[in-house]
Amino acid sequence: MTSVLTGVSDELDPRLLEHRRELTGYCYRMLGSSFDADDAVQETLVRAWKSFGSFEGRSSLRSWLYRIATNVCLDQLSGRQRRALPMDLSGSPWSPVEASLAAKRPADAWVEPVLDRAVLPEDGDPAERAVARESVRLAFVAALQHLPPRQRAVLLLRDVLRWHADEVAALLETTVASVNSALQRARATLAAMGGTPEERPLDTDHRELLDRYLDAFERYDIDAFVALLHEDATQHMPPFEMWLGSAADIGTWMLGPGSGCRNSRLLLTEANGSPAVAQWRPTDDGGHTPWALHVLEIEDGRIRHITSFLDLDNDLFARLGLPLTPDAAPAAG
């Protein structure tokens, strides 16, 4: 699809492209994958481009694009298994040993990360930005995957995008009563799973914590690193099924199976509405190669959870738009 869009991009009405970022955010929440979201938005824009002459302004351009994007996402989700995170699959943590790496699933089994700059508005009302940020947090996106696709669309359009019930009914070609019923069921499911987003501002203390986190990791001072974690901190590492359930186990892992991360280079960025760290691991020839994007959850001044998306196939950084070498890394963001 990328090649198709590239071929017509010069002909696209600029009014279509103005909506690309917000459409990407919507499709990401629907699909749980930034890469699938990119494909869905590209398909949306191509369909809109081909039909633009017959659009005739019967609804707002934004509403029309969301109708197309929703249909594209529903088509993509048809017959698919839901994406998850490792902690969703097992109720018990794993021991921090090499054998944990034996259990691995394909990329399409996992919720995938997204950089904030790809889906969040650059400016605008702070309250709206806060809602947008919370609605791409990993826990919320993972919880969304438990909803049937149409319920997912209703909840996102009503609770995240703040559409009126009649607008959602028109988009989905259904009734207001059906929309309200779907929304009630979706809210109940998320509440039962603890998936309701809550605002967690990044304050000055958090920034100081992140500086200490980067410093301890790059020096590979594991005692200092573990001291920044809650005692019951957790970490998981897609595409592996394993997850760790304490700061002590995380430290043991880093000094054991994860010891190849010593002398890594790091860059602070933002992903899924949270602080994130891009990591390049050292290579035998003295260079560095993309290794992981760590998405951090901070609570009460310490790290509560680390989701480490490993770049084992050497395409995660490229597809997210992260530099392939630390020396090419731009400013954080």
User: Going along 187-242, which residue ranges are E strands?
Assistant: 229-236
Task: Output the pLDDT for position 3.
Answer: 42
Name residues whose C-beta falls within 8 Å of residue 223's C-beta, 6 or more positions apart in sequence.
251
d(CA 94, CA 246): 10
d(CA 323, CA 325): 5
For the record, the structure tokens of 215 come out as: 């410093």
Q: Could you give the C-alpha distances from 253 to 248, 279, 298, 312, in angstroms and in order?
A: 9, 17, 20, 18
Q: How far is CA 178 from the centre of its chain?
A: 29
d(CA 287, CA 328): 13
Element (H, E) at 252: helix 247-255
Output 162-168 pairs: Cβ under 8 A, ≥24 positions apart: 167/63
Query: Average pLDDT per run of 10 along the chain, which is 333 residues long?
Result: 46 77 97 96 92 71 94 94 91 92 93 96 80 93 97 97 96 97 97 75 75 98 98 97 97 97 97 97 95 96 97 93 86 45
Task: Output the pLDDT for position 322.
Answer: 95
Task: Output the pLDDT for position 125.
Answer: 78
Q: How many CB atoms lie within 10 A of CB 328?
A: 8
- Please state the pTM of the whole predicted model: 0.91
